[in-house]
Structure 1
Amino acid sequence: MSYERFIAWRHLRSKRTSFLSTITIIAILGVFLGVTALTSVVAVTGGFEEAFRERVLGVNSHLLVIKYGVDFRDYREIQEDIEQMEGVTATSPFVLHEMIATHGNVSAGILIKGIEPATAESVSDIPKYTLDEGAVAQLEFERFPPDGQVAQPKILLGQSLAERLGAEKGDLVQVTSPLESLDPGRWSSKGSSPSSRQFEVAGIYRSGFHQYDDRMVMVDYQALQDFFNQGDTVTGVDVRVEDVFAVGALADQLRRDLPEGRFRVMDWRQLNHNLFTSLGLQRLVLAVLFCFIVLVASFNIVCILIMIVLEKNKDIAILKSMGATNWGVMKTFIFQGAVVGFVGTVTGLVGGLAVCLGIKHTSFGLDPSIYMIDHLPVRIVAWEFLAVGLVAMIISLLATIGPSWWASRLNPVDGLRYD
């Protein structure tokens, strides 16, 4: 062991029997609390972002291709073209409208999405969220059955909406639209009454994302075509891709390949731009704020070193008179600060991990109407913990430079003048 580390270690020891002095323990505790808080915040904010992304991509597809107007009749050909693109795994047509659902005396505004049950599972994870197995398959509706007997159309409700309406599986829900038809050829200047139809509840889904569970419902897209007296037209095509984070490049390629001015292509980040932008900004701001906790804790290290320099003024002078270099003295105090920072950082990372595991295995219920999800999520990522540890160590080492440089510039004559 070099003399610098030996002397630094002796300085960190208490004058009495305890291993570390009180002030050293306080400094380590400050770094520990700062690192624990920072790792916990990074994990929780990352968990929120991941939870929202999973919910959004679980109910929706990765890409939407929408045709301007209400005459998207060539969607099958568009699907075939899209499916031939590299990186695309599946496509499915959809119809989307805003309507009103009524059960008993309770009504609620809904966003009704017509899906193709046979292909919906390939572009979303909605079957995984249904509380009744096979509910999505039960939505199938034959618009023109061979025997002429049109079956009762069925609907899939979100759990929050079902609770609000008081509807259960097998109940009939009245769906009403202010539009009698979406076919411009059937429009007239005469007033028309809203059209409505009853749908049987085929099942209930729970995505965990309040915005969907409280408003979005799903039916067979052919049932909506029949409801609005449409031909074989859809609103757009859902597209699922292999890499959700490379969806931007694929969206740009689709915009170039599809007829210009006729289609609108949106990926999942554009559809939820405000949500993910605010989450990212919130995560950055919180990380910066909690970095200041580590920064404040580092001032304890500065105080320790200054106090040691003042107390060991004579010892430093003796060392320098015996041949110790300025760099040797500086290294002595840098090592002391590094030990405090290292112990505080390592224990802080362990403490942060313990807090995150506690959150992960404890039910912290959230109000979904406020936070949009019903639990406190946490995401533990090794490189994020290492990054926090690296930042804490850098701050701790930077805090040692001033006092260490001051100690190295001490004149031996001044330290021994009155002895």
Structure 2
Amino acid sequence: MSTYETFIAMRHLKNRRLSFLSTITIIAILGVFLGVMALTSVVAVTGGFQEAFRDRVLGVNSHILVIKFGIDFRDYKDIQKSLEAVPGVKATSPFIFHQMIATKGEKTTGILIKGVDPETARNVSDLPKYTPDPDSVLQLKFDRFPEDGVKAIPQILIGHTLAEKLDAKVGDEIQVTSPLESLDPDRWSSTEHKPSSRVFKVAGVYRSGFHEFDSRLVMTDYRALQDFFNQGDVVTGVDIRVDDVFDVASVGTLVKEVLPPGRFRVLDWRELNHNLFTSLGLQRLVLAVLFCFIVLVASFNIVCTLIMIVLDKQKDVAILKSMGATRAGILKIFVLEGLVIGAVGTINGLVGGFIVCHIIKRTDFGLDPSIYMIDHLPVRIDLMEFLAVGGVAMLICLLATLGPSWWASRLNPVEGLRYD
């Protein structure tokens, strides 16, 4: 763009002769600023929600589950060896999963108890990170067949919300009850069985930050659950951790290829939480589109500003054309003016959005985890997302300048000088 076009555009924006023009220009800049700031904040918060849920879900759980149809999964160790040879698989660990009832004193609540291998569980999940003592996971180890024949009380890990609900702390004993006496098909009969129960000792309290886990999920040694239900060496399934959490689909396909056909079901973390993440993604898209309308409305202020400048500068446009300025040159002048307004508003909006995001990160909004599933408002500041918001805002501002600029370039110089 030539020097005279830039010079004239800056003079128009700096003109103080008519105060309403400078005021409406400030309003246009302010509109873009507020729109960009709101949009960046919404994108950062909704992205933070997605990331927080993903981290919480994957923090306690594995990336892929392999579950055998039926309950007679005895060859899990051979299956583990086959799975660990699959490219992209980092580690495997067996697990058992049951719904039970936990009781301490007069307080009772339903729980989901997961039996894990204490020695390999840390390889497929980040559970030790959520406990004050990372070695508490190893304390879950249970000897089902001790040499002296005296079995120790099995240990469990419970979430902090569940601990508060039961008023339990490390070292306390909790009674766990199941309506099933045994899951071994050889012991099934037509006679009614009474619910079986066993005392577990609290080895540690974890805090994952995800209410659904902290209030219900309990961990213990899978051998303790085998002993509880009088089972043989059988498990529910195998946990798998992969190298790339976003590449679970392709790794899952390879896992299915090494498993005997028709006997196993393979589920990755996206399938297990499909509804949750689909809902979050849709919510983020809708909010981003809605807040884009704020920038769009602000762009109409740019249109009004340019129209007012064109009306006020008809004489100047006529003189420029009579001196040899082309239509393209006049078009560039007013496009540049609109882009300067948009750029000032966008840059300040991005800075304002960055500041707002940091304020949100440091503010306690008192979220109820039983409703929102997390206890704080997460924020993810992504440079590329901020640049994308800035790019969209500038594109909207550019489109807003084209109409008034084209009209200014089409003005007849004779009309502009007729009454002067």
Could you state the TM-score of these two structures normalised by the residue count of structure 1? 0.98
Corresponding residue for 2:100?
A: 99
AA in 1 matched with 2:104: H
CA distance in structure 2 between the aligned counterparts of 1:301 and 1:285, rounded to whole angstroms:
25
Letter in 2 for 1:102: T
Q: Which amino acid aligns with 1:185?
A: D
Q: Find the aligned partners of 1:238 and 1:132 in 2 and give their Cα distance.
A: 23
Q: Would you say 1:149 and 2:150 are equivalent positions?
A: yes
Q: For the Cα contact (< 8 Å) 2:41–2:353, is it kept in 1?
A: yes
Structure 1 residues 202 and 71: CA distance shift in structure 2, 3 A? same
Distance 2:157 2:50 in 1: 27
In structure 1, what is the equivalent of residue 189 of structure 2?
A: 188
Following superposition of structure 1 onto structure 2, how do residues 367-378 of structure 1 map, counting pairs within 5 Å? 367-378=368-379
**Paired residue type of 1:249:** S
User: Per-residue displacement from partner, 1:31-52 (whole Å, max 9, x unpaired)?
Assistant: 0111111111111111111111
Task: Give the Cα–Cα distance (whole angstroms) in 2 for the partners of residues 333 and 313 of structure 1.
Answer: 12
* Structure 1 equivalent of residue 362 of structure 2: 361
Aligned to 1:328: 329
Aligned equivalent of 1:52: 53
- C-alpha displacement of 1:132: 3.7
CA distance in 2, matches of 1:157, 1:132: 13
Aligned to 1:262: 263
CA contact (8 A) 2:82 2:258 kept: no
Residue segments in structure 2 that go unaligned for 5+ positions in a row? none
Equivalences for 1:263-278 in 2 at 5 Å?
263-278=264-279
Amino acid at match of 1:320: K
CA positional deviation for 1:155: 1.0
SS in 1 for 2:403: helix
1:282 aligned partner: 283
Matched, 1:392 2:397: no
CA separation in 1, counterparts of 2:110 and 2:369? 18
Which secondary structure state, in structure 1, belongs to the residue aligned with residue 265 of structure 2? strand
Worse-matched range after superposition: 2-11 or 52-61: 2-11
Partner letter of residue 171 of structure 1? D
Name the SS of the counterpart of 1:289 in structure 2. Answer: helix
- Residues in 2 aligned to 1:125 and 1:320: alpha-carbon distance in whole angstroms: 70
Q: In structure 1, the residue corresponding to 2:136 is in which secondary structure?
A: coil
Structure-1 residue corresponding to 2:308: 307
CA distance in 2, matches of 1:81, 1:352: 50
Give me the whole-angstrom Cα distance separating, in 1, the residues matched to 2:188 and 2:134.
41
**Inter-partner Cα distance in structure 2 for 1:16 and 1:151:** 90
Q: Which amino acid aligns with 2:406?
A: W
**Mapped contact 2:140–2:221 kept (Cα < 8 A):** yes
CA deviation vs aligned residue, 1:175-200 (integer Å, no higher than 9, x gap): 11111110112111111111111111
One-letter identity of the residue aligned with 2:317: I
Comparing 253-262 with 142-151, which one deviates more in the overlay?
A: 253-262
**Do the aligned partners of 1:142 and 1:222 also contact (CA within 8 Å) in 2?**
yes
Which range moved further: 131-140 or 204-213?
131-140
Query: How far did residue 303 of structure 1 move?
Result: 0.3
**Higher deviation after alignment, 71-80 or 319-328:** 319-328
3-state SS of the aligned residue for 1:181? Answer: coil
Give the % identical residues.
71
Whole-angstrom distance in 2 between the partners of 1:4 and 1:135: 71
Alpha-carbon displacement from aligned partner over 1:373-396 (angstroms, at most 9, x marks no partner):
111111111111111111111110
SS at match of 2:275: helix
Moved more, 311-320 or 260-269: 311-320
Q: What CA distance in whole angstroms lies between the structure 1 residues aligned with 2:129 and 2:316?
A: 71
State the one-letter code of the partner of 2:83. I
> How many Å separate the matches in 2 of 1:220 and 1:81?
23
Q: Is the 8 A contact 1:251 1:267 kept in 2?
A: yes
- For 2:119, what is the secondary structure of its paired residue? helix
- Maintained 8 Å contact 1:132/1:204: no
Q: Name the TM-score, length of structure 2 as normaliser.
A: 0.97
* 1:364 CA displacement: 3.3
Q: How big is the shift at 1:360?
A: 2.2
Matched residue type, 2:329: G
SS at match of 1:28: helix
Contact 2:347 2:390 in 1 (8 A): yes
SS in 1 for 2:135: coil
Tell me how far apart the structure 2 counterparts of residues 99 and 57 of structure 1 sit (CA, whole Å). Answer: 23
RMSD of the alignment, in Å?
1.4
SS at match of 1:160: helix
Q: Does 1:401 align with 2:397?
A: no
CA contact (8 A) 1:157 1:217 kept: yes
For residues 50-89 of structure 1, what are the structure 2 equivalents within 5 Å? 50-89=51-90
Give, in angstroms, the shift of residue 411 of structure 1.
1.1
Aligned to 2:416: 415
Q: Residue deviations 1:58-113, cap 9 Å, x none?
A: 10001100001010000000000111111111110000001111111111111100
Q: Contact 2:86–2:254 at 8 Å: present in 1 too?
A: no
Give the corresponding residue for 2:344. 343
Structure 1 unaligned spans of 5+ = none
C-alpha distance in 2 between matches for 1:132 and 1:369: 26
| Offset of residue 133 of structure 1 | 4.3
Partner letter of residue 200 of structure 1?
K
Could you tell me whether the CA contact under 8 Å between 2:159 and 2:214 is conserved in 1? yes
Contact 2:83-2:258 at 8 Å conserved across structures = no
Could you say what secondary structure the match of 2:120 adopts? helix
Q: Count residues with an aligned counterpart.
A: 419
Relative distance call for 1:274 and 1:189 in structure 2 (3 A) is same
Which amino acid in 2 is paired with 1:349? L
Distance 1:181 1:109 in 2: 19
**Counterpart residue type for residue 286 of structure 1:** L
Compute the displacement of 1:21 (Å): 1.3
